[in-house]
Chains A and B, each alone.
Chain A
Amino acid sequence: MNDINFRILSSSLLALIGWAGAARGADIAVTGNWWQTVNQADLISGAGSDIRTPIESSTVQTTLDISNTLGGSWTVVARQSDISWPAGVSLAVKRTTDGSGDGTISGGTTYVTLTPNDQILLSGSGDRAGIQLQLETNGLSVSHGLGNYTLNIIYTLQ
């Protein structure tokens, strides 16, 4: 291998290492858990009717902050991890604000129904702070009985 090829390859590798190093510092933070109480006021039309669906959170229920991206592109995926969640009830997430920052943001403005597998929620580049999310449940019924039902949403920056 001649010197020119060696230098080109070495430079490329250093650039790749540099890119990877920049990505390594990117971080995602989430604030704002959602606790929703469901009672007789949530019946569609009183006695004889079922619980209304969907049940939505506040439009600013949850805030995502993405930082330390060094201007790089990113995608946020999300999945659910059941703790105690009834069958037939789904949870969906959507973005309600762009947040702020030097970067860009796109996608996620319509509800994405979560599953145990990562679903693409939104994407962008650079740092963005204060991206607000709204949540909704679908399919809750009186047949599920009373109690507390919990799941975790895991947001991953890719």
Chain B
Amino acid sequence: MNTPFPKSRLLMNTLAASVALVLTSATVWAGSTATQTVTYEVTAINEISVSGSPAALTVNTATAGSAPTDATDASTTWAVTTNQNGAKITAAIDTAMPTDTTLKVNLAAPTGATSLGAVTLGTTAVDAVTGISQLNESSKTVTYTLSALPTAGVIASASKTVTFTITGGV
């Protein structure tokens, strides 16, 4: 003879089954997701600029018994941005300087980099600043120095184009 199933027992079973169903359904609801991928690619960035051209450099004085006094100009600045490591700045002029004259440039170093000081400019590029890594800085001083030996004589005014290049970063 079967024992009658009490309503309260039936209710409890129904409740348990219902809660289980609700929990299951809620879990599926919460699992409804979609995924999107975002990618940005940063390519090599190496930019250099100068603020303008310096004033004319004129060697026209000397102390008796010494070589003519150098002419200097520090009125311009340079700026750099690189996202690479170990970049360097080289400098060169478009045509050779007259005999017994020398044009030098000194670039102030940005943070963490090394300036090679006043380097002599020629038609072959020379390093001016090395070890530039992942930075952006501006208003760094550019100093030009023109020197002339007495043997250079009197030279007509001329212009040189100085080219600065940022290179070598990895």
Residues of A within 8 A of B (CB): 1, 3, 6, 9-10, 13-14, 16-17, 20-21, 23-24, 26-30, 32-40, 43, 46-51, 55, 62, 64, 81, 91, 135, 137, 140, 142-158
Inter-chain pairs besides A17-B18, A152-B36, 16 sampled, C-beta below 8 Å: A30-B35, A32-B36, A34-B37, A36-B38, A37-B42, A47-B136, A48-B79, A50-B81, A137-B40, A140-B42, A143-B83, A145-B85, A146-B42, A148-B40, A151-B38, A156-B31
Q: CB distance B134 to A143 under 8 Å?
A: yes
Those of B20-66 within 8 Å (CB) of chain A: 21-22, 24-26, 28-49
Q: Are A43 and B81 in contact (CB under 8 A)?
A: yes
In the complex, which residues of chain A have a beta carbon less than 8 angstroms from the beta carbon of B8? Answer: 1
Given A29-B34, A152-B35, A156-B32, also A16-B18 (CB < 8 A): yes
CB < 8 Å A-B pair total = 180
B34–A47 contact, CB under 8 A?
A: no
- In Å, the complex CA distance between A43 and B39 comes to 19
Instruction: Quote the shortest CB–CB distance from B30 to chain A (angstroms).
Output: 6
| Partner among B28, B36, B44 whose Cβ is within 8 Å of the Cβ of A62 | B36
Query: Which of A10, A17, A47, A158 interacts with B49 by CB under 8 Å?
Result: A47
Tell me, rounded to whole Å, the shortest Cβ–Cβ distance linking A120 to chain B: 14
Q: Which residue of A lies closest to B83 (CB)?
A: A142
Instruction: Report the Cα distance A51→B44, complex, angstroms.
Output: 12
**A-binding residues in B (CB < 8 A):** 7-8, 11, 14-15, 18, 21-22, 24-26, 28-49, 79-85, 134-139
- Give the docked Cα–Cα distance between A1 and B28 (Å): 33
Contact of A149 among B40, B44, B135 (CB under 8 A): B40
Known: A1-B7, A29-B34, A38-B42. A145 touches B29 (CB 8 A): no
- 21 interchain pairs (CB within 8 A)? A10-B14, A20-B21, A20-B24, A23-B25, A30-B34, A33-B38, A34-B37, A40-B45, A43-B81, A47-B81, A146-B83, A149-B40, A150-B38, A151-B38, A152-B36, A153-B35, A153-B37, A153-B38, A155-B33, A156-B32, A158-B29
Q: In the complex, how many angstroms separate the beta carbon of A132 from the nearest chain B beta carbon?
A: 13
Q: A9-B11, A143-B134 are in contact. Are A28 and B34 (CB under 8 A)?
A: yes
